Amino acid sequence: MTGGAPLRFGTDGVRARAGTVLDEPTVRALGRAAAAHLGSATVVVGRDTRESGPDLARALAEGLVAGGASVSSLGVVPTPAVAHACRVDGVAGAVVTASHNPWHDNGIKFFAAGGRKLDDAAQDAVQAAWDAEPSLDAAGDPTSFVDPVDPVDGGRAWADALVAAGAADGGGPSPLDGLSLIVDCANGAMAPFAADVLRRLGADVDVLHASPDGRNINEACGSTHPDDLRTAVVAAGADAGLAFDGDGDRVVAVGDDGRLLDGDDLMAVCGVDLHDRGLLAGGTVAVTVMSNLGLRRALDDHGIDVHETPVGDRHVLEALDAYGWVLGGEQSGHVVFRDLATTGDGLLTGIRALVAAQRVGRTLGGRVADLVVRAPQVLHAVPVAGDGAAVVVRMADELAEATAQLGSAGRVLVRPSGTEPVVRVMVEAFDAAEAAAVADRLVAATRRADAATSS
């Protein structure tokens, strides 16, 4: 088969609706293309709870074997468990997951040997090899690719490491002793692990959405749909709640008053805690362009510098690695602790934030309230017929005017989407009415610029 591959790498691997352009021959070909570019002849593969996961994971393994790799299965495990195995054992890894997407989608994430996501050069090399041969209908049977007998075994080493890290961070074996928590596992890969780890650290834990059936992953639950968790935390009088996404690399939290706490809030709590203890290398936190102005001000108030990266935890990790910093992340709940992990880890993030709040005698929600005053944020996705990047360039004068108007009390971000034919307009200002007015003006400017560049 010749021609371009039907799929391309996005900000976090390859993702599409399973059974359409993402089918077994395509995934098999992707595995074969990737085998030579992962930095290790040994690859561990995990997956989330989607119905299509077992067949796609086996197809990926078949392709990797066809490319010369030796492959083993970790079974259903969170993405950070795969990255942990890669880091500890020095092997490469892959995860069959579509993260927070609906059950009918799926995708592939790769980790190079040691647990880092593929850099641009390796990703480009995989894409080129895949483009050259985008389908593989048959391959050898990977006899070693058998799920663990005990479904928890694939993530056991990672779970044990989290317990050890939480105990070390909290100065004792039960740093969450006395806390009442509710966790929402999104009917995903965190379901067998989250409550057990938190209980081992001393917390009293109730669980929501931990009965995956292949089709209920992320369905009205988890980090993208936390309403059930908010209701449950308030009704139970719990101290906090944690909601994960389908593959467990991101988390959002809920305070004891039901307030939603996102990645920015959790980074504020953890960043200030690490800084106060002299553990924030370089006195800097890496955030993406989407992080709220309230986080930036909270960190600045505590003498912490902010380094800004493009959207995507891969870019955050690149900054952490380049400068030796230890904390960075995204508003969505992808938070990376470089001293302990090589990728976002929702459970690790929740543990560290809870321990940090405990250290100063506050609930998690109370600690966020101490630190962060969020700027209202207005978001618009404006459909464009032409090239989004050209549209943004044409808006230079309007962007400069909006930025000057808001000054230090606000922020403007206008960027072309990497996945859709839209230009995303974001305006933050501590004056909500002003934010809305500026956003409306920029939406109109986007439409004018699109009309001019498309004509």
| CB contact at 8 A, 107 and 245 | no
For 441, the token pair is 């003006």
Query: For residue 299, which phi and psi values (nearest 5 degrees)?
Result: -65, -45
What's the CA gap between 236 and 272, in Å, rounded? 29
CA 444 to centroid of chain Cα atoms = 32
Sign of CA dihedral 354, 356, 361, 362: negative
The Cβ of residue 306 has, within 10 Å, a number of other Cβ atoms equal to: 18
Question: Could you tell me if 346 and 245 are in contact, meaning their C-beta atoms sit under 8 angstroms apart?
Answer: yes
Of residues 291, 348, 300, 358, the one with CA closest to residue 319: 291
Distance in Å from the first CA to the final CA of the chain: 38
Contact 220, 204 (CB under 8 A): no
Structure tokens, 49: 């709870």
Which of 213, 154, 217 shows the shortest CA–CA distance to 184?
A: 217
Beta carbons of 347 and 243 less than 8 angstroms apart: no
Measured CA to CA, the distance from residue 430 to residue 433 in angstroms comes to 9
Residue partners of 73: CB distance under 8 A and separation at least 6? 44, 45, 46, 57, 61, 145, 146, 147, 148, 154
Beta carbons within 8 Å of 121's beta carbon, 6+ residues apart: none
Element (H, E) at 45: strand 42-47
Catalytic residue annotation: 99
Question: What pairing do the DSSP bridges indicate for beta strands 284-288 and 305-309?
Answer: parallel
Q: Among all chains, which residue has been given the structure tokens 């470089």?
A: 338
